[in-house]
Structure 1
């Protein structure tokens, strides 16, 4: 019996010891002028997750310590790919529409009915067709502008917030009745967003 208790104690101590090293959380000390949005953007974490981790409302106090949650980080290559998609899909659209296009991709990554990575979502094929026109016509291979990169950063920071849009289309050119039947979440510029 004593041996069993010793094993449990050793396992628990080892678990705490190794967990502390493997998951060493970052801590941010709030400075005057900091906002939750800027902190989330600085560390590349979703604002919602930053608030939940710290059980925070919107008020910050200088000197306050915030734990930066560990998240699955998005590589520079994934950000670039997403920015190129945003640039190709939403060129000429309002900035909010660019953020919304990036958000659709991130929502799909987080949704069980879609692939689990930005790359897989963007290059997904269904019925022999790519999910996004720029992949099919090659415009995804053109460089993104600064605004597209900024829209991607904003979408990442606001990940998990919003109306859960999974689709978008231009009602003047969309031919799919199924897509038009989806519940509309928002209309921005020439795009209708739906889930």
Structure 2
């Protein structure tokens, strides 16, 4: 019961944070035409209906001609699955908000000049013989994922470009690098500290 309350509280907290931030420039804008629907627009831009609704803070299907719709960038199913596997391996046992934040770190790195410019490139980045993410190094990324992990990935994609621009995350209790603790902390969620 207590953990359910914490999970609900985490979701409410991250939803409040995300909704308080204006929609980012990474979403394309589309002017709805007569006869358009969220479903048609989602298919036209190859994004999920859920992500399109999340990006526009909508739960229903009502749409008006002339309305400006934010269209999140699309991500292939293969890359979503890879991200969900990383989220599962890195954030197992963490609150849902922490899972979204881990997926967001991957997307932020793709957009940052200091990292590879693809999801696969970011996840499998190898610097001086070591992978950027320990689950890639130890093989835990191959263990699969759960529905909640994929949901977190979809939410991160829908809100891409918003938030604290975190590029790193670590557990301060287990981190072995002094360098990582020197980074500017953006938020702490569960056992993970996020930084840029």
In the superposition, the TM-score normalised over structure 1's length comes to: 0.70
In the superposition, the TM-score normalised over structure 2's length comes to: 0.70
Secondary structure of 1:98's aligned partner = helix
- Gap runs ≥5 in structure 1: 1-24, 31-39, 52-57
- Contact 2:72–2:159 under 8 Å retained in 1: no
Secondary structure of 1:168's aligned partner = strand
RMSD: 2.9
> Residue deviations 1:132-180, cap 9 Å, x none?
0100010101110010000000000111000000000000111111110
1:156 and 1:162 mapped to 2: Cα distance? 12
> Residue deviations 1:67-126, cap 9 Å, x none?
556665211000000000000000000000000000000000011111111000000011
1:158 to 1:69, Cα distance in 2 relative to 1, 3 A = closer
Question: Which has the higher Rg, Structure 1 or Structure 2?
Answer: 1
Secondary structure of 1:163's aligned partner = coil
1:188 to 1:62, Cα distance in 2 relative to 1, 3 A = same
- Contact 2:54–2:155 under 8 Å retained in 1: no
Structure 1 partner of 2:64: 64
Structure 2 partner of 1:160: 161
- Contact 1:124–1:130 under 8 Å retained in 2: yes
TM-aligned CA deviation for residue 26 of structure 1: 8.1
- Contact 1:46–1:158 under 8 Å retained in 2: no
2:176 and 2:108 mapped to 1: Cα distance? 23
2:173 matched to 1:175? no
Structure 2 partner of 1:134: 135
- Contact 2:52–2:72 under 8 Å retained in 1: yes
1:45 and 1:125 mapped to 2: Cα distance? 33
Matches for 1:178-189 after TM superposition, within 5 Å: 178-189=179-190
- Contact 2:73–2:157 under 8 Å retained in 1: no
Secondary structure of 2:83's aligned partner = helix
2:95 and 2:53 mapped to 1: Cα distance? 22
- Gap runs ≥5 in structure 2: 1-29, 39-46
2:91 and 2:72 mapped to 1: Cα distance? 28
1:158 and 1:76 mapped to 2: Cα distance? 17
